[in-house]
Amino acid sequence: MDIWNQLLQGFMTAGTPVNLLWAFVGCALGTAVGVLPGIGPATAVAMLLPITAKVDATASMIFFAGIYYGAMYGGSTTSILLNTPGETASMVTAMEGNKMAKSGRAGAALATSAIGSFVAGTIATVLVTLFAPVVADFAVKLGPPEYFMLMLLAFTTVSAVLGQSAVRGLTALFVGLAAGLVGMDQITGQARYTGGVPELLDGIEIVLVAVGLFAVAEALHAVLFEGKVSESENRMSRVSMTRDDWRRSIPAWLRGTAIGAPFGCIPAGGTEIPTFLSYAAEKKLAKGRNLAEFGTKGAIEGVAGPEAANNATVTAALIPLLTLGIPVSNTTAILLGAFQNYGIQPGPQLFTSSAALVWALIASLYIGNVMLLVLNLPLVGMWVKLLKVPKPQLYAGILIFATVGAYGMRQSAFDLFLLYAIGVLGLVMRRFNFPTAPVVVGMILGPLAEAQFRNAVSIGEGSAMVFLQRPMSLAILLVVLTVLVLPRLLRRRAAALL
């Protein structure tokens, strides 16, 4: 009942014309960056972080959230219509979606992915509504040792579990942690790695790192290596589904949601595993003619399931972010940075200290999903035109927005040189197959984890045994060990089924 009242309050806040406008602009922008190659939700939110200086917290979080899940809708459009799959999350959609588009069923593929995203997004939002307060109530009881273990879990999954190589993932993580070290130590106020430069006392700006690693590195990579890559575009067809399409899609959406949502809830993020699992499940369940369509004409279940799984994961990932303050992806890490810019630390207290903000944000998820359904079904033709933006102008334009983000945060031209340097670093990382998410997560979560660790050891009177003596902390430690082993087995299994 209490939840119901607060949610209604949230709808009142999110439903004001100004906030509706922010949500709409966020969803539209999110769809656009999802469709456009070379720029994703993390980059877009990072570039726009300077607005946190002026826009109030509720409005900008609604806006950023719109970009965050709007990009998931847009991303599937690109992976279905363009023959060059982008991020891993939409890679699975691309497998069947592309085949469907080639056999003249692009419209049905787009429809099932948009409606599936809506169904999964809405169900996952209901889960967020129901479970986030429960998790928050529970999380209040956690102490520093448990928190540190949860953060260790996030570090482990983002660096050693996701991505191919644990060595390169861990290297990226520790580079991120090193970047997070620069500045004043949270507990003693000791300056570290500032080299006497006063600007560095506040630490390295996250906008610089994110925009440099994603936007600038992406543009440099495009100019160096992708000039001659030719892209072909699949033909559009009418966006509609037949009775048979519906019959096959609905169970796939629900299964995808059921697979995706739990993966979002645990701080063991990434959409790669749930989308692959959903694809494998659909393929295994398909029979006869439908099974024959997999990999040939393109099976609609193979688009519907993974798309739903993707959106369910992404939405449910807000639960660990809001209740524990633990991000597990680039975009959620930057959303955490946005909260920090307002002096708000997401965590269990968020639901009491900033209740109005949180519930308005959750309400905006419901509203945003409806907006996105409209933006992506009847209006999909408009977004498809974005695919025609020529590469030179696209990447050059992205650099202008990168400048806004990097300069707007601190008004320092020096930051623009630093941005270039980070861009070159990102280029090297991309070329040598280092993941970027651990850098960003490590940089944002590192200082928090360090503080929790030191507080925990203080509680243990200087002994690290405290992590083993408390049952909850020991349990999470065991989970950490499990996630190190389990996904590798699951992935091998999923790969064997493909």
Partner 1 sequence: MKQHDHSAPSALLQTLVGAGVIVLALGLALGALSIPSNAGYAGVGPNFLPWLVAAALLVCGGFMVYEARSGGFRQMDEPSGDGAPYWGGFVWMSAGLLANAALITTIGFIFSCALCFVLAARGLRNAQGQSATGLKPWLSDSVTGLLIAAPVYWMFTQFLAINLPGLTQSGWL
Q: Which residues bind partner 1 (CB under 8 A)?
A: 50-51, 53-55, 164-165, 167-168, 170-171, 174-175, 177-178, 181, 185, 187-188, 190, 192-193, 216, 219-229, 391-393, 395-397, 399-401, 403-404, 407-408, 411, 413, 416-417, 419-420, 423, 428, 431-433, 446, 450, 453-455, 457-458, 461-463
Shortest Cβ 414–partner 1 spacing (Å): 8
- Burial (CB count within 10 angstroms: exposed 0-12, middle 13-18, buried 19+), residue 392: exposed
Minimal CA–CA distance to 42: which of 23, 67, 24, 63? 67
Shortest Cβ 91–partner 1 spacing (Å): 11
Tell me if residue 339 falls in helix, strand or coil: helix
Shortest Cβ 468–partner 1 spacing (Å): 16
**Helices 301-316 + 272-285 axis angle, to 10:** 150
Amino acid at 111: A
CB of 242 or CB of 469, closer to partner 1: 469
CB of 27 or CB of 48, closer to partner 1: 48
Cα 45 to Cα 42: distance, rounded to the nearest angstrom: 5
Tell me if residue 345 falls in helix, strand or coil: coil
Shortest Cβ 214–partner 1 spacing (Å): 15
Shortest Cβ 250–partner 1 spacing (Å): 35
Shortest Cβ 429–partner 1 spacing (Å): 9
Cα 67 to Cα 401: distance, rounded to the nearest angstrom: 15
Amino acid at 391: K
Cα dihedral sign, 66-337-352-261: positive
Shortest Cβ 404–partner 1 spacing (Å): 6
CB of 165 or CB of 349, closer to partner 1: 165
CB of 90 or CB of 257, closer to partner 1: 90
CB of 172 or CB of 281, closer to partner 1: 172
Which tokens sit at 114?
A: 């948009």
Strands 183-184 and 191-192: antiparallel
CB of 52 or CB of 315, closer to partner 1: 52
Q: Encode 239-276: b = buried (16+ Cβ within 10 Å), e = exposed.
A: bebeeebeebbeebbbbbbbbbbebbbbbbbbbbbbbb
Contacting residues for 133 by C-beta, under 8 A, at least 6 apart: 3, 351
For the residues of 162-208, what is the DSSP string, one character each? SSS-HHHHHHHHHHHHHHHHSEE-TTT--EES-TT-GGGGG---HHH
Shortest Cβ 376–partner 1 spacing (Å): 25
CB of 369 or CB of 436, closer to partner 1: 436
Shortest Cβ 160–partner 1 spacing (Å): 11
**Helices 301-316 + 57-81 axis angle, to 10:** 160
Cα 344 to Cα 288: distance, rounded to the nearest angstrom: 54
CB of 159 or CB of 369, closer to partner 1: 159
CB of 118 or CB of 434, closer to partner 1: 434
